[in-house]
Structure 1
């Protein structure tokens, strides 16, 4: 309902209507495969005969992923020709992201704990499962994912607590085994070494200690999440009942982020957030209070049913119920700071575990009689929907093949060869932002400007939240002389990303061309730019120029002075300052003195009159300490007169 409400309310929007449809459909397909089908398969196709086999499959998958991740942590790569890890020393295994591997292991650890506690287990099998457990804990440490560490501790603690409560006899017999699990955990936690991968590679204890940085510094892991949460909260405030539409967080997020980037605490943490990094805000921002209420109702129902099973089941089924429920709770805790519930592999296992939990209870079926024609119609409808999904995924796969071919050709500057590949990808999957953007850039680089603008618009239909798309499209429009069309696109780019100096320069250049029309707008633009980039001499000079054109000479004077304060060697600002002083009938003694000293020093250097050059240059450096030219002259003079130590010190200041 939230998705449809947002879709219909934006049908008139040229880009958002497509994006809402596209992003929402992706989320629906994700739910269909990873939630509905995984849950359904676990509920209806597992029983007492095959349940252990299914669990063993996931255990083996977890072990392979864990061992591979551990080897990655120590710089050993089996699959790729070299270590390919954008996360530094954090292991990703086959998951692509350390946070996904860690959540997968959180879901498996409680099951291993209850299995090793079973009294009927042979010594060989218990050793095997202890080996699995050890590899899982080690791999979990290798991910350096703190939210999953907390989730794992909560899940295991919950497992042990419920065992003590409902399986007191087993708990008493398993104290040594549980203690052994604790010893393994402590030894690995304390003794596990740093990764041998270059780059970011803290130990576990150093990773935990990093959290203290948030008390005294701007710390990315904390402040970037605060930035994302703030944007999610704005979405909730704006649409409290139904949210911004299911699956649309990534689409709308950039339009809320820009306003926060004026705060120093968030300025260095700009991101393109796929998810909110908090499960409550994730659901609330997209489906509103109604959706969050239903979601919490669902989770409470799962929790209640899980405890119902624990109270009423016996033997191995009760142990599995304890472990599966604990694994779900661990995943919920993990996703208060993580996003793994919404990505395929950990998300699949989460819903699979939930289905396994439900399958432990008595199945109650209700048969609904459907007339034969209706049955056939429903069957054909499901076949058509399934076939359409297969075709879509097949087309999506082939589109990715063409996209990566085209992308590699583009990066090798083989534009004419890249375009057909990217066009093929676009034909197979129209609303894919990365491919459309690359195609548009290739058109632009190849001089096909009309096609470039069309492809940029296709990119925005796929996802309208990327400032670089608006910027590049505006640039092509400006090159075609379509200034009136370029202006709003540059403005949108800056609204999304107010940290783009190129954006200010491009939009500002259009304002500077017609100051009689855009003078006030240009002044507002450059004043905003000086807030973000206070040490940029060109911005202050441009601001001064617009003040001059609007005959606001006092403000122009202040702007030119600021430009020269940043760079006393900026000749254009010097010339503008002289003109403005003349207009105002004023004199600036400090400016005139430094200007005179520059001429005097240069004349003395030409004449090799070092006795005059030295004291004049020392006075000049005191007046203009930020002047590269003055300090360079000073260093050269010191060197020439034999004061080598002072020359070296001055050269160092010059380099600064």
Structure 2
């Protein structure tokens, strides 16, 4: 027969299985609560990294526990006696042996393949995997960009979450899960409303306060509003599932009101469209019977939705519709005029330069601080249809429209598998620059790491193959929901429609925005819950929970040696457990790295240079492949080397000799070059590291012992890297300006003129390019008339900008060309801005003498003497000499 010892099973092992289930279910509840609500103000990525870390750690833990459960199940199953079917039916059970739990994992794989969404979801996973492998930057596609984390690992996590839910959550638990999601949204909504009234407990941003668009615990109003419109249909499920008007109905009507108020405080347009369409979808599909079963409840619900919507849309301050109107109107403006900007030309190094936080390489930030003026295209003629359309819109609507045009060009170049997940920020500047050139525009723009349209973003990232799989998933889901609605009755039908409405809200808003960690997490929860809510059409194997699509139509025969299968299964699960532990550790390391990074930023703001550098270096140590960390650290090394190598920076380095010694300065140069070169190897399309290399070699050329001629090799390296940076980001003003200045220093005036013309087109309101271009023209065969035309062009385009340097250089040009009336005019303008500007007084005296206006010249000389007092400087000497000369007149 068989050995009785082999069939003995430890009761403890049998008891561990339900504990594993309970832990996994509890972890799922923690995920749906913690991911939307948790954030850490001690991180630099306050909302993004905090949420993705929670999701990663808990999901990896669940997969590890599931693997442990599978191993335990395998031990129990294979310890059953190996007998033939006759023995199995004839031998009575031994009451002394505890019952063996049915091994549901034995039949789970074939069941999984019969789930209605399994095949398209697995196809989605494989396509993302292939797109990552053939990505323009595979590592970036694997882990995702900083603050977005939309790489292949995140896709694996979301899909794993889906399979965990459909395996461990049954239909009976759906109601409780809905309540947990609604409760989470309640906490977020209360926090958002408090933000609206300036009662934010955590001052994580200066953009929150009374009357501001709220973001609650999500970090951005678009993400918060998207979460709310996905949860509102779940509240409607609770309201319409109850046949009568119970006390719980009053509670859910109050919650609906809370959500509506919080939603309109976000003023998000994409979510507004999703809200309207998803709620109309819900109301239309639940049918008259459910709507009229309790008219009072239906009227109350519709009154809340419509009443609050009308209230907030007639108030211009909180009007979503107003935001639509203000950006779509055929108004023509002169886009060449702009605001006053800081002078970037020949900026001296100060202590403030060192202690200011370097610009982060964050693709969501604006390239220039004054780019708001470019929210509308100029009115220059263009024949293409999209040019005419683009000139009728402005603001973020224009930004999205240009994104869509650029995305079509990217798809044309990468049609099959796309550019790879989360790599858009690396190539977007080149494509949008080409688009602008075709439109005869040179504009500062926001670099993007997402196309604000889910279908286009999917196609750009994973190609037409990815789009096809995505369409397959949508079709499979719609087919499943349609069949479910046809077969379900009463509250079950309302449940399916409500879950589908939540998914529809996400899909609609994503056509004008993009997903984020908490809303993508909720989306996969809703997808999985829809699968569970769908009715069962086939009988289930004994011991298996009833779930949609898990029915078997045929038996699956196991082949091969049972012991080998058991060993292979346990080995695979063991590998999964080890991998999950490793991924958890790496996730925590990444979290710790960001803590150090933020600590470094705060230390730098407090002028604690050594402590800041140590913190940044520690951040790179814990997350060595993080692009953002390395670029910031390399920028600090560059700035330290620049200050230490500047002979005029004695005041800055005073008292800091320990960090500005000769050895330290040499080390800063070496670290800046080494760090930037490593970034270029890891991320060849990163313009920031190329620009850093250009600046380092440019600086080395300046301080080279071979001066005044400079170091030819260093200058060649600087030009090479500057040109690469401008190729990677064609419309970055600072890149063009730096390259032009280097060309000018080397006497390559034509190249310098070309770069400066590009620079002034990019930022017409910035005087630096105009000043530098005028100086280059003056040095290039004394082209004073061309230099004058450039400066007058700036004045014409920026009539409201009163820039002393522009007037002063014009005065110098008029001095060289003996235009004395013009000199006097420019000098008076300078004196009106700064009445103590002695240089302007000197020029005005010279002009008045040439024009024989001696009284005015005397007044100006006396004014110089009044300003200088007893000081004996060049200006006071000049004034005295001129007064002596005038005494003879």
Shorter-chain TM-score tier: 0.7 to 0.9
The structure whose RCO (Cα within 8 Å, separation 6+) is larger is: 2
Residue in structure 1 matching 2:761, options 531, 543, 550: 531
Partner of 2:174: 51
Q: Distance in 1 between matches of 2:306 and 2:460?
A: 39
Q: Indicate if the aligned counterparts of 1:85 and 1:92 stay in contact, CA closer than 8 A.
A: no
Residue in structure 2 matching 1:418, options 592, 609, 612: 612
Partner of 1:285: 460
Superposed CA RMSD: 3.7
| CA spacing shift, 1:317–1:227, aligned 2, 3 Å | same
Q: Indicate if the aligned counterparts of 2:811 and 2:823 stay in contact, CA closer than 8 A.
A: no
Aligned-partner SS, 2:428: helix
| CA spacing shift, 1:19–1:27, aligned 2, 3 Å | closer
Q: Indicate if the aligned counterparts of 2:144 and 2:422 stay in contact, CA closer than 8 A.
A: yes
C-alpha deviation, 1:316, in angstroms: 2.0
Partner of 1:23: 144
Q: Indicate if the aligned counterparts of 1:22 and 1:431 stay in contact, CA closer than 8 A.
A: no
**Are 1:346 and 2:519 an aligned pair?**
yes
Q: Indicate if the aligned counterparts of 2:130 and 2:417 stay in contact, CA closer than 8 A.
A: no
Partner of 1:521: 751
**Are 1:113 and 2:236 an aligned pair?**
yes
| CA spacing shift, 1:473–1:17, aligned 2, 3 Å | farther
Q: Indicate if the aligned counterparts of 2:820 and 2:847 stay in contact, CA closer than 8 A.
A: no
Q: Distance in 2 between matches of 1:183 and 1:269?
A: 46
| CA spacing shift, 1:5–1:207, aligned 2, 3 Å | closer
**Are 1:225 and 2:349 an aligned pair?**
no
| CA spacing shift, 1:488–1:53, aligned 2, 3 Å | same
* Structure 2 unaligned regions, length at least 5: 1-126, 334-375, 377-393, 537-548, 641-664, 702-713, 796-803, 827-842, 861-889
Q: Indicate if the aligned counterparts of 1:63 and 1:135 stay in contact, CA closer than 8 A.
A: yes
| CA spacing shift, 1:264–1:138, aligned 2, 3 Å | farther
What is the 5 A alignment of 1:450-599? 450-459=670-679, 467-481=687-701, 482-515=714-747, 518-533=748-763, 539=769, 542-543=772-773, 557-563=785-791, 566=795, 599=846
Partner of 1:157: 280
Residue in structure 1 matching 2:258, options 109, 116, 135: 135
Partner of 1:607: 854
Q: Indicate if the aligned counterparts of 1:409 and 1:417 stay in contact, CA closer than 8 A.
A: yes
TM-score by length of 2: 0.60
C-alpha deviation, 1:110, in angstroms: 1.5
Partner of 1:639: none
**Are 1:358 and 2:531 an aligned pair?**
yes
What is the 5 A alignment of 1:354-393? 354-361=527-534, 362=536, 363-364=549-550, 369=558, 371-393=565-587
Paired residues, what number? 587
Most deviating of 277-286 and 560-569: 560-569
Residue in structure 1 matching 2:156, options 22, 32, 43: 32
C-alpha deviation, 1:440, in angstroms: 1.7
Aligned-partner SS, 2:328: helix
Which one has the largest radius of gyration? 2
| CA spacing shift, 1:395–1:611, aligned 2, 3 Å | closer
C-alpha deviation, 1:109, in angstroms: 1.3
Aligned-partner SS, 1:506: helix
C-alpha deviation, 1:437, in angstroms: 2.3
Most deviating of 300-309 and 601-610: 601-610
Q: Distance in 2 between matches of 1:246 and 1:537?
A: 39
**Are 1:440 and 2:634 an aligned pair?**
yes
C-alpha deviation, 1:56, in angstroms: 0.6
C-alpha deviation, 1:534, in angstroms: 5.2
Partner of 2:428: 253
Q: Indicate if the aligned counterparts of 1:436 and 1:455 stay in contact, CA closer than 8 A.
A: yes
TM-score by length of 1: 0.79
Q: Distance in 2 between matches of 1:137 and 1:306?
A: 27
**Are 1:91 and 2:214 an aligned pair?**
yes
> For each residue in 1:373-432, what CA deviation from the matched residue of structure 2 results, as whole angstroms up to 9, or x when unmatched?
321331122123212211210111111121111121122221211222222211111122
C-alpha deviation, 1:193, in angstroms: 9.1
| CA spacing shift, 1:602–1:112, aligned 2, 3 Å | farther
Which has the larger helix fraction? 1
C-alpha deviation, 1:527, in angstroms: 2.7
> For each residue in 1:305-338, what CA deviation from the matched residue of structure 2 results, as whole angstroms up to 9, or x when unmatched?
1111111122322111111112111211111101
Aligned-partner SS, 2:634: helix
* Structure 1 unaligned regions, length at least 5: 11-15, 582-586, 614-656
C-alpha deviation, 1:298, in angstroms: 1.0
| CA spacing shift, 1:202–1:472, aligned 2, 3 Å | farther
Aligned-partner SS, 1:245: coil
C-alpha deviation, 1:55, in angstroms: 0.8
Partner of 1:619: none
